[in-house]
Amino acid sequence: ECGVFGISGHEEAAAVTALGLHALQHRGQEAAGIVSYDGKHFHSERRLGLVGDSFTKKPVINRLPGSSAIGHVRYSTTGEPALRNVQPLFADLAGGGFAVAHNGNITNALTLRGELVKNGAIFQSTSDTETILQLIARSKLAYDSVIEDEQVSRFIDALGSVEGAYALVALTGDKLIGVRDPFGIRPLVIGKLDNFFILSSETCALDIIGAKLVREVSNGEVVVISDQGIRSFMPFPVAPYRPCIFEYIYFARPDSVVGGLSVYECRKKIGQQLAKESTNSGEVVVPVPDSGVPAALGFAEESKIPFQLGIIRNHYVGRTFIEPAQKIRSLGVRLKLNANKSTIKNKKIVLVDDSLVRGTTSHKIVKMLYDFGAKEVHVRIASPEI
């Protein structure tokens, strides 16, 4: 997971970035951070917890002056949940300050890190993202006649050593940069608010600030936004487009558009297809809220079985999938979801969920439905087995 956001040229850049991160909060609830640039200095505020815990407060936003900013919401895949791993990461490099925020997983990060440390690099975090900063710092590529910018040239040179999934937003003294890995595994879009360009993990973050979608960043594309407008480079070897299917199943917000497709419509159609492939042995279709709702609606529509909210979600508890500890996940299920007795008692239930990752939550939900009087529970999972 993780969400990235960036804006260039807006006088309230940090406040707009905070709004964008709010819309991307579903992509990570562990930590959030913003780096801004005011024409002379970079400013960084990074916090553990939700965006609203810190970045709705005026004193925090006031410490982030400038007309350019990038932000990040974190769900950790590498590195412990400590403040030193909260992004965006910032470093003073030979060509000036450089901040970067990353959604993805660098598969050769440990190998690269080992080589860098052997050659004298000093790491401040355990995040795989810092590997990119270290590679930029050590790049010997001073200038590229096509790109005509030393920092961008070194950034691209550094990414040539990196393998895996990445959607990156970066900020220099005069440029906002967006990069997507050659396979386009993680999402990144370009938006426009008046005359200001925006980079975001999802289109829902553009909607919250009234920005328009320009287009997706292509797989393997580097976009450079400056006072001169937007420039595009395709510096990496051509690879087939391989977006992560889990964006459509679970990660992305249903009101986002990914790869030109409405995530909500995709999930609903998956539910319709699921009904075609299933034996319709229930009396009511019950979604596991909230991510199972569109698939359950599609299932109910296709199967002609009534749709009911048989489980009610408490929206003030974080997603159990995000919680890192198994004990917390086990405790969190009952805090978050409760059976709606009137719709499930003595009923044969078709329980529709978007995916089954660990199965620990699903097991407890089924038990809860039986505890509250369900006659039968038939589990239907919208995504295929892996």
Q: Supply angle C-alpha 20, 168, 226, rounded to 5.
A: 80
**CB distance 178 to 152 below 8 Å:** no
- Measured distance CA(88)–CA(71) in Å, rounded: 6
Structure tokens at 84: 């030193």
**Nearest Cα to 173, choosing from 51, 90, 81?**
90
**CB distance 218 to 229 below 8 Å:** no
Residue 63, exposed/middle/buried by CB under 10 A (0-12, 13-18, 19+)? Answer: middle
* Cis peptide leading into residue 353 (ω within 30°): no
**CB distance 220 to 159 below 8 Å:** no
Total number of residues shown for the chain: 386
Residues catalogued as catalytic: 2
